[in-house]
Amino acid sequence: MLEIKNLHASIGDKEILRGVNLTVKPGEVHAIMGPNGSGKSTLSSVIAGREDYEVTSGDILWDGQSILELAPEDRAHLGLFLSFQYPVEIPGVSVSNFVKTALNAVRTARGEEALDASAMLKKMREALQLLEMDKGFLSRSLNEGFSGGEKKRNEIFQMAMLEPRLAILDETDSGLDIDALRIVAQGVNALRSPKASFVVITHYQRLLDYIVPDVVHVLYKGRIVKTGDKSLALDLEERGYDWIKKEAE
Ligand X SMILES: Nc1ncnc2c1ncn2[C@@H]1O[C@H](COP(=O)(O)OP(=O)(O)OP(=O)(O)O)[C@@H](O)[C@H]1O
Residues 234/203, Cβ–Cβ less than 8 Å: no
Could you give the CA distance from residue 8 to residue 94 in angstroms, rounded to a whole number? 37
Contact 181, 121 (CB under 8 A): no
Amino acid at position 1, single letter: M
State the nearest-atom distance from the C-beta of 164 to another protein, in Å.
Answer: 10
Comparing CB distances to ligand X, the nearer of 85 and 154 is 85
Restricted to residues 52-71, the positions that interact with ligand X (CB under 6 A) are: 52
For the CB of residue 18, give the shortest distance to ligand X in the complex, in Å. Answer: 11
> What residues does 95 pair with on adjacent strands?
none
Strand bridging mode 29-33 / 197-201: parallel
Candidate segments 16-24, 81-89, 129-137, 144-152, binder of Mg ion by CB under 5 A: 81-89
CA distance 144 to 91: 6
Instruction: Tell whether residue 234 is a contact of another protein (CB under 8 A).
Output: no
Contact segment (CB under 5 A) with Mg ion among 25-33, 77-85, 136-144, 179-187 equals 77-85
Nearer to ligand X, 33 or 138 (CB): 33
**Which run of H or of E encompasses 122?**
helix 117-130
Q: Which among 198, 168, 171 has a CA at the least distance from the CA of 72?
A: 168
Which region among 35-43, 47-55, 188-196, 207-215 touches another protein (by CB under 8 A)?
Answer: 47-55
**Residue 191 CB neighbours (<10 A):** 17
When binding is defined by CB under 5 A, the residue of 41, 143, 154, 158 that contacts Mg ion is 41
User: What letter would DSSP give residue 47?
Assistant: H
Closer of 42 and 138 to Mg ion (Cβ):
42
- Whose Cβ is closer to ligand X: residue 160's or residue 199's? 199
- Given the complex with ligand X, which of 41 and 205 has the nearer CB atom? 41
Q: How far is the CB of 86 from another protein (least distance, A)?
A: 8
List of residues 6+ apart from 26 with CB closer than 8 A: 1, 165, 194, 195, 196, 197
> Interacting stretch for ligand X, rule CB under 6 A, among 19-27, 30-38, 177-185, 227-235?
30-38
Enumerate the H helices of 192-228 as residue ranges. 205-210
Question: Distance between CA atoms of 216 and 233, rounded to whole angstroms?
Answer: 7
Pattern 51-90, another protein, x by CB under 8 A: -x------------------xxx-xxx---xx-x--xx-x
Q: Which positions lie near Mg ion, rule CB under 5 A?
A: 40-41, 85
* Binding site residues, ligand X, CB under 6 A: 11, 14, 16, 34, 36-42, 52, 85
